[in-house]
Amino acid sequence: MILFEEHELDAQVPDFEHGGFRPARLIHRVDPLFGHGTRLIEGAKLAPGGGELGTVVEREGFCPFCVDTISEATAPFPPEIARNGRVIVGNAWVVPNVIAYSSVSAVGIYDVNRHFLPLNSLTRELVYDVLLAIGQHGKAVRSQRPDLVYSSVNANYLPPSGSSLIHPHIQSSHDLVPLGSQARLLEASKTHLEAYDTPYFEELIALEDAQGQRMVAHMDPFVWLVPFAPTGFYEAWALAPGIGDLVELGDPDLYQLASGLALVLATYEQIGVQSFNFSLIGATPASREFGASLLFRIVARAPMSPYYRSDVTYFERLCLEAMIDYSPEEWAQQLRSNFGTTMSG
């Protein structure tokens, strides 16, 4: 029912030792859920290596998420969302997002007391606090706006992942319309259940358990595995069969998710990864009708480099959405004016 589609392609590379060309292993895979293609190659090191973080992670001047500025630099929530204006768990704060990424969006700061947290400092307890706080905010939003059924929690960590700030944080989104990844998740889950009378992720877990090669761990209610056709380097997934809507996650569930995520980040630290994106997408309350699971995905990004910030964030890398900060119509007008000047000249 779930097909792991793989094709071995006929490829060759130059043979510098003996001259001519030699065969090279090249495998093309298709992700059975999202439909994208992945090419597995040999003989090259495509994943960027790590380097020194240097002084770029040190605070210089203003930071809106540090403890001495956050109260003045961020706005309070209305009292029906947060009684005291912010959602605070331990040293984690959740505040309104100053940029309208979605109908209702918020930012969760892991620790307002620490401007930078290396991966080995993103412990289970620290991750749990920020997930718990962002979850409390999400439940409050849904109680006030039950129509905002498309919920997600996402993260950019350091500029190579598209983050505009060094201070580690996550972001939540509650919307009337789905992310591209949510739309695909819902569509595939419905279609699969109608065709095979089995929830997609239940079958996927059974297949991965049977094969064993990509299964990582069962941490109830989450199952951690590596996807058949990754979208990027060192990607990992966590599925929660039986939990479809993000606001259904209870405190113990968030603790288990934090535990698994901290282990992934510790492994990233071991292999020299410095930056990452993650995305936790919910499948809406309607998921109960077709057995869809929420889905957590994390992928490594390039290492730090002075003055470099990627234009690809979690939106493009994991959510199948483009994030554009200009009007296409105004850009077309600017182009037309230059085209007109050139043509008239």
Q: Where are the domains of the chain?
A: 5-41, 63-317
Write the class of the CATH domain 63-317. alpha beta
Instruction: Give Cβ neighbours of residue 196 (< 8 Å, ≥ 6 apart).
Output: 1, 203
- Of 225, 108, 120, 213, nearest to 168 (Cα)? 108
Which H, E and C letters describe 119-147, residue by residue?
Answer: HHHCCHHHHHHHHHHHHHHHHHHHHHCCC
Q: Residue 24 in contact with residue 11, Cβ under 8 Å? A: yes
Instruction: Write the single-letter amino acid at 55.
Output: T
Query: What's the CA gap between 290 and 188, in Å, rounded?
Result: 10
pLDDT at 137: 98
Query: What's the CA gap between 168 and 114, in Å, rounded?
Result: 9
Q: Residue 28 in contact with residue 7, Cβ under 8 Å? A: yes
pTM exceeds 0.75 for this model: yes
Q: Compute CA distances 153 → 139, 146, 294, 303, 321, whole Å.
A: 13, 17, 11, 23, 14
Main-chain phi, psi angles of 2, to 5 degrees:
-85, 120
Q: Compute CA distances 114 → 118, 157, 251, whole Å.
A: 10, 14, 24
Q: Is 242 left (phi over 0), alpha (psi -120 to 50) or beta?
A: left
| Structure tokens given for 217 | 């761990």
CA–chain centroid gap for 19, Å, is: 44
Give me the residue label for tokens 């990509």.
214
- Of 155, 97, 99, 108, nearest to 134 (Cα)? 108
CA dihedral (314, 317, 318, 320) in degrees, to 10, reads 110
Q: Tens of pLDDT along the chain (345 residues)?
A: 899 999 999 888 888 989 999 988 888 899 999 999 988 887 666 666 666 777 778 888 899 999 999 999 999 999 999 999 999 999 999 999 998 889 999 999 999 999 999 999 999 999 999 999 999 999 999 999 999 999 999 999 998 888 989 999 999 999 999 999 999 999 999 999 999 999 999 999 999 999 988 999 999 999 999 999 989 888 999 999 889 999 999 999 999 999 999 999 999 888 888 999 999 999 999 888 888 899 999 998 888 776 677 778 877 888 877 766 767 767 778 777 877 755 554
CA dihedral (109, 113, 119, 125) in degrees, to 10, reads -70
Helical spans, DSSP H, in the chain: 70-73, 124-144, 180-196, 200-211, 251-271, 314-317, 328-344
pLDDT at 258: 96
Give me the residue label for tokens 């093309």.
28
pLDDT at 57: 85
Instruction: Give Cβ neighbours of residue 297 (< 8 Å, ≥ 6 apart).
Output: 227, 231, 235, 236, 237, 278, 279, 280, 318
Strands 294-301 and 233-240: antiparallel
- State the distance between the two ends of the chain, measured CA to CA, in whole angstroms: 62
